[in-house]
Structure 1
Amino acid sequence: MKVMSFARFLQPRNIAIIGGREAEEVIRQCINSGYQGELWPVHPKKQQIAGLKVYPSVKDLPAAPDAAYVAVNRHLTLSIVAELAELGAGGAICYATGFSESGEEGQALEKELLKVSGNMPLLGPNCYGLINYVDQAIIWPDQHGGEKVESGVAIITQSSNVAVNLTMQQRGLPISYMVSLGNKVKFDLHDAIREFAKQTSVTAIGLYIEGISDPSAFESAVRFARELGKPVVAIKSGRSAAAQKITMSHTASLAGSDELISTLFTRNGVGRVYSMEGLIEALKVLHVHGPLNGYQLGSMSPSGGDGALVADAVEAGRLELSVLSDNHQNSIRNTVHDLVSVSNPLDYQLFDWLDTTRLASTFTAFIEQEFDISLCVFDYPRPDRCTDENWQPAQQAIINAVAQTKAKVAVLATMPECMPESTAKHLMANSIVPLAGLKAGIEGLQAAADIGIAWQSPLPVEILSSKISAANAPLTLLDEAQAKQRLAEFGVVVPKSEIVTCPEQARHSAGKLNYPLVVKALGVAHKTDVGAVKLNLNSADEVSQAVKAMAHLAERFLIEEMIDEVVAEIIVGVVRDEQFGLYLVIGAGGILVELMRDSRSLLLPVSRQEVLSALQSLRSAVLFNGFRGREIADLDAAVDAILAIAHFAEENRDKIEELDINPLMLRASGKGAVAADALLSIRA
């Protein structure tokens, strides 16, 4: 199949609208918005719709349309899409439901839909459509709250209703494109990211995600957007078990592992938010300022209460209210009243509230140094009952200060209703971000800073493909000795050991090792629970007796040297996910695994810094650093071992189903890390 071009489809000069009620609504929306292109209604019985000539069929259209909206039942959709493809249309939107989200019959129809569409771009099925606010092409069967813009953000959603809701925002966010993907037969998430990143009218891209069908393609698309300077921020639903069930039935999406989604976002510089309000506020920051260079935040307000609220809001996150330098303090002190105490947050009080010139001097002195972005806290009065006359001098002061310094500034209303939409638009026109609500505003700033920090580092190697060439090969569970042997070949340190089959061999083999020793029955899961492991054996007799006592559990036994000077134990695992393929898990090990559930997941391949950062971010990381007089753990050796395990997984990516090293024992600094236990499930 040829590579599809979506250019005609996204900026149509003419639109064919096929169907009844929903199709007529698309026509009304285009007319009401002022769309300047041609509208070609198609209906077999009607002569006129909204004063426009109606064509009885697709074949009667005056030319191949740049875009077509197909709002008929699922069976008729197939024949109409086939006709549009044959005619050479630029693309079609399929409104109908009843495809892959509805069972086997629908899945079969969806495959046929893909087939008959040929090389023609296709959006849906089971979706509302596309809104282009730059050209006012509202290919959308419902009300919407947007307006014409010259530039703005593109928003991609996997829910039509969420898309409608986002158009209704009254927070001043300019939207250039809005699209709901539906079942994503052809126009998938990664396709949309690539297409909107190319548009000069798009400043940033926002995502509402229920699932990512192709993580590798998503990663490639996000990196393409980064190359073009288009930051991406996302909200991912489906974190709870209940939400995952809903997304599966809603758009046939695979919700996937939330932690792996976060990992994918982090390694590719996608900002993550956890609320719709946070998504909108992050997009506003990115639209006006782009990604922030860091987390250093300045805050000023006419009230100490506002400053305290900001300080509390940032305390648990990555943003930081940095301490002012002496020079910075002196610069500010020269502009404020003698009774004002200079700090960050700055409570400049109301002495100069109505004096634009003096207040602009204070604002300029505060914002021109040190910060990655500065906040100016204004809660505007409600416009229906009050006047903002007394706010205008202060607002003009911050506008003047920004014009003079070119600093990155946001005006923050602690409550969203205290940032009127008209005020938000005015601030944005003067290169100031209007943030509506303290919690959402801080969330948006943090996401923009996350992107900026990520963009300062080189991109990691692309993630491994999730496809398994040996998927049909039978699985084999290797025992501990076999697993350790395979790992040792890749540089993982394992205890010195011997394999025996009877007490007599055990007595002889014990003499080749250094006491104390441990004996394990091979091929037995959960050894401790069934008495399949004996520790601290200090003689050949004890080793022989241990093997004899386990004879009913196994035919082969592993005798190993015990590991001393252990500072901490971690678990290292490799697991296969249906979406992401193999990934690495690092966490608190030994008996703490189920108790603490303290782990981090990393996508492969992984870098040394990623592994070290994951280890240091564990709640149990305190054990690595000399906890209660213990020695410091050999983290360098731990990282070496984990990278060796990751390398083994990468080299056997088509075969491994699951690998478990628990525990990886971390000895004192300079003394190494040893894999004390290992199980491996692998395809022949």
Structure 2
Amino acid sequence: MRSLDRLLRPRSIAVIGGGAWCTQVIIQSEKIGFVGAIWPVHPREAMVAGHGAFPSLDDLPEPPDAAFVGVNRNTTIDVVNALSQMGAGGAVCFASGFSEAAAEDAEAQDLQARLVAAAGDMPIFGPNCYGFINALDGALLWPDQHGCTPVERGVAILTQSSNIAINLTMQQRALPIAYMITCGNMAQTAQAQIAIALLDDPRVSAIGLHIEGFGNLRHWEELAAKAHARGIPLIALKVGASDQAKQSTVSHTASLAGSEAGAQALLDRLGIARLRALSDFLETLKLLHVYGPLGGTRLASISCSGGEASLIADMALDTALTFPPLEHTQETQLRAALGPMVALSNPLDYNTYIWRDADAMAAAWSGMTGDGIDMTVSVVDYPVTDAGDWTCATDAALKVRADTGRPFGVVATLPELMPLDVASQLMDGGVIPFFGLREALAAIAAASTLTKPHDLPLCLPGDGVPTQTLNEDTAKTALSAYGLDCPARISGAVQDVIDMVQNLRAPLAVKGVGLAHKTDAGAVLLDLDHRDIADAVARIGTRDILVEEMVTDGVAELLIGVTRDKAHGFVLTLGAGGVLTEVLRVTASLLLPVTDDDIRAALDTLSIAPVLDGYRGGPAADLDAIVNAALAIQAYVLAHHSTLSEVEVNPLICTPTRAVAVDALIQLAEEA
């Protein structure tokens, strides 16, 4: 595929088709200040939106850099083929009725394949796509109204949804939008590929991605690596969380690690911060546009109300943000500015003694900044009636930023209490105007947790249909070959096992073979002696049984499982194990491959971590053995990635000296 440069930064555009949509493309191009050539193409109309029309593409003076194809879906294929043959720079395919309509129209998927073939190596956006706005160069292919204005530098936003794109252009939050791009069906050019191209524009400060699905994971890895190298932060609003209750699963792991867990693990691995609401998404982009990623999670808050001070402290409880206590130098500066009547703390209620004195306010607010603080915010609500008396707050905030050079924001507790003209003034002075207290905390938390993408490339799974589930003994044998510690055991027909059971050391466990959830079926009997085996076998009633030595010095039980997630890779799940796995539902998810450091960090996030460390003077588990168990399971998965569907060890009994797989399951798929 050719470069996207000509398409995204065109000097000439062709608008192919008639009707209101194509007319709007021309009107909106003129409104935003496009200075290049505009060539309507229409077989019957002599004029379109005040421009002389060309009867056909062959009549154009030269191949256009960008083309808006506003004809029906069947004609779109012919037009795209002609544009490709003549050497056009790229096209936006507006028509719908392609893969998005496949459920209702049997021809839709075939039409999309034909469209891609017609495009060849000419880039296309869509189909079912509104196109793009380039507010940096005053160029667009956009068939509707929008709220973008020319900017010299700004953020790029990419979304599959044209309606969401329109709404985001209408934001009134002083956020400079450099590019707004809709991706549509992404039949040929994917969202990640477009974002990669935007990284070459030094005027782009940050990229926001509204993601419905990822597609080619190698493109996303390339995007994350290039963005990190260029210092351009990426954030995402990922939609489409799965309903795990609807899954048909054969293991505890699969019930816990649905596609939502895979999506989050992928974003974490790529170092992309995730937001959950459009307002948070916009506020984060604003912060990143001005400051880029923050150095940490240390927050300072200033307000002239104790109610606001307690409110922001409470609202931050569910985030990673912290309010460090004031240092001595801060207290000295604050006391000099505020006098003896104010109780000093973080968050700070500075009362209103110095209100209207911008210099005094700035001196106090500056005292809440410093090397130990990553972001300082002043809570200011501008009244909608008459905000004239609040000019001092704006001036003070601008002075703090100018004097200290530290990240500083003014936050309104409600979005509607931050006037747009004030927000623009603050942005021009390098101060973040936050629209809403909750939104501000979400943005600061996201900007403080952006990470470097993982160095290891993802292990991509096969897509064959699962056809075989190995029994416990076979699964343990397979995993043992890769270093997993399993108990001594005997498995097979009932009488064969009974004849050989004396070779094992009591206490013993007896299990029925061939059952997915043996405990639920009453097919697991524990703490048995050799003389109990015959009776236990009769009670269980399965044709084949497994008898194994029990692990008696366990500190804790863990689950370690891997499920194949076709959209995201192999999801490694770590969590509390045993019969309470799905009751506790406390897990950490990673995508393979991982390092031992990744596993240790994930284990540390679990609520069972204190038990592993030796809770209340109890013995600690052998953490190295746990990590080695996870790495052994990973080694098996990597060796069988084309056919593996699922592997689970539950429980992994963790002792002071071992980590022993007491139960294991492997599900395999056929080769695709």
TM-score calculated relative to the size of structure 2: 0.94
Counterpart for residue 557 of structure 1 = 545
Q: Deviations for 1:136-163, whole angstroms, at most 9, x for unmatched residues? A: 2131111101100000000000100000
Return the alpha-carbon distance in structure 1 between the equivalents of residues 314 and 512 of structure 2: 55
Counterpart for residue 210 of structure 1 = 212
Counterpart for residue 613 of structure 1 = 601
Local SS of the residue matching 1:198:
coil
Cα deviation, residue 531, structure 1: 4.6
Counterpart for residue 459 of structure 1 = 454
Partner amino acid, structure 1, of 2:363:
S
Return the alpha-carbon distance in structure 1 between the equivalents of residues 494 and 101 of structure 2: 59
Candidates 501, 505, 509, aligned match of 1:510: 501
Counterpart for residue 532 of structure 2 = 542
1:207/1:235 contact within 8 Å kept = yes
Partner amino acid, structure 1, of 2:209:
L
Return the alpha-carbon distance in structure 2 between the equivalents of residues 525 and 411 of structure 1: 57
Within 5 Å, give how 1:657-676 maps onto structure 2: 657-667=645-655, 669=656, 671-676=657-662
Q: Residues 549 and 297 (structure 1 numbering): CA distance in 2 closer, same or farther, change over 3 Å?
A: closer
Cα deviation, residue 61, structure 1: 0.9
Unaligned runs of at least 5 residues, structure 2 = 248-257
Local SS of the residue matching 1:591:
helix
Local SS of the residue matching 1:657:
strand
* Segment drifting more, 363-372 vs 226-235: 363-372
Local SS of the residue matching 2:504:
coil
Cα deviation, residue 683, structure 1: 4.4
Local SS of the residue matching 2:180:
strand
1:153/1:202 contact within 8 Å kept = yes
Q: Residues 651 and 156 (structure 1 numbering): CA distance in 2 closer, same or farther, change over 3 Å?
A: same
Counterpart for residue 569 of structure 1 = 557
Within 5 Å, give how 1:251-266 maps onto structure 2: 257-266=259-268
Local SS of the residue matching 1:640:
helix
Return the alpha-carbon distance in structure 2 between the equivalents of residues 15 and 297 of structure 1: 48
Q: Residues 634 and 13 (structure 1 numbering): CA distance in 2 closer, same or farther, change over 3 Å?
A: same
Cα deviation, residue 549, structure 1: 5.2
Return the alpha-carbon distance in structure 2 between the equivalents of residues 312 and 517 of structure 1: 52
Counterpart for residue 677 of structure 1 = 663
Q: Deviations for 1:374-420, whole angstroms, at most 9, x for unmatched residues? A: 101211122xx42x332222321221221121111111111111111
Partner amino acid, structure 1, of 2:487:
P
Local SS of the residue matching 1:314:
helix
Q: Deviations for 1:541-587, whole angstroms, at most 9, x for unmatched residues? A: 3224434555x522x43221111022222222111112123221222
Counterpart for residue 480 of structure 1 = 472
Return the alpha-carbon distance in structure 2 between the equivalents of residues 360 and 571 of structure 1: 54
Counterpart for residue 441 of structure 2 = 442
1:267/1:460 contact within 8 Å kept = no
Identity of aligned residues (%): 39
Return the alpha-carbon distance in structure 2 between the equivalents of residues 161 and 579 of structure 1: 25
Local SS of the residue matching 2:337:
coil
Return the alpha-carbon distance in structure 1 between the equivalents of residues 585 and 539 of structure 2: 34
Return the alpha-carbon distance in structure 1 between the equivalents of residues 525 and 349 of structure 2: 67
Return the alpha-carbon distance in structure 2 between the equivalents of residues 357 and 601 of structure 1: 50
2:458/2:569 contact within 8 Å kept = no
Unaligned runs of at least 5 residues, structure 1 = 246-255
May I ask how many residue pairs the two structures share in their alignment? Answer: 655
Return the alpha-carbon distance in structure 1 between the equivalents of residues 492 and 130 of structure 2: 67
Could you say which structure has the greater relative contact order, defined with CA pairs below 8 angstroms and 6 or more residues apart?
A: 2
Task: Tell me, yes or no, if structure 1 residue 638 matches structure 2 residue 626.
Answer: yes
Within 5 Å, give how 1:156-555 maps onto structure 2: 156-239=158-241, 241=243, 257-382=259-384, 385-386=385-386, 388-451=387-450, 454-455=451-452, 459-467=454-462, 471=464, 475-503=467-495, 505-539=496-530, 541-547=531-537, 553-554=542-543
2:462/2:643 contact within 8 Å kept = no
Q: Residues 24 and 478 (structure 1 numbering): CA distance in 2 closer, same or farther, change over 3 Å?
A: same
1:328/1:369 contact within 8 Å kept = no
Task: Tell me, yes or no, if structure 1 residue 579 matches structure 2 residue 570.
Answer: no
Return the alpha-carbon distance in structure 2 between the equivalents of residues 529 and 361 of structure 1: 67
Return the alpha-carbon distance in structure 2 between the equivalents of residues 502 and 415 of structure 1: 70
Local SS of the residue matching 1:44:
coil
2:134/2:178 contact within 8 Å kept = yes
Q: Deviations for 1:411-442, whole angstroms, at most 9, x for unmatched residues? A: 11111111111111111111111111001111
Task: Tell me, yes or no, if structure 1 residue 122 matches structure 2 residue 124.
Answer: yes
* Segment drifting more, 314-323 vs 587-596: 587-596
Counterpart for residue 8 of structure 1 = 6
TM-score calculated relative to the size of structure 1: 0.92
Q: Deviations for 1:326-365, whole angstroms, at most 9, x for unmatched residues? A: 2321222122232122211122222222222222222223
* Segment drifting more, 474-483 vs 12-21: 474-483
Return the alpha-carbon distance in structure 1 between the equivalents of residues 633 and 63 of structure 2: 56
1:15/1:40 contact within 8 Å kept = yes
Q: Residues 529 and 429 (structure 1 numbering): CA distance in 2 closer, same or farther, change over 3 Å?
A: closer
Cα deviation, residue 65, structure 1: 0.3
Cα deviation, residue 634, structure 1: 3.0
Partner amino acid, structure 2, of 1:577:
D
Q: Deviations for 1:183-216, whole angstroms, at most 9, x for unmatched residues? A: 0012211111101111111100011111111223
Q: Residues 531 and 296 (structure 1 numbering): CA distance in 2 closer, same or farther, change over 3 Å?
A: closer
1:335/1:361 contact within 8 Å kept = yes
Local SS of the residue matching 1:511:
helix
Partner amino acid, structure 2, of 1:270:
I
Q: Residues 498 and 61 (structure 1 numbering): CA distance in 2 closer, same or farther, change over 3 Å?
A: same
Return the alpha-carbon distance in structure 1 between the equivalents of residues 461 and 469 of structure 2: 21
1:460/1:607 contact within 8 Å kept = no
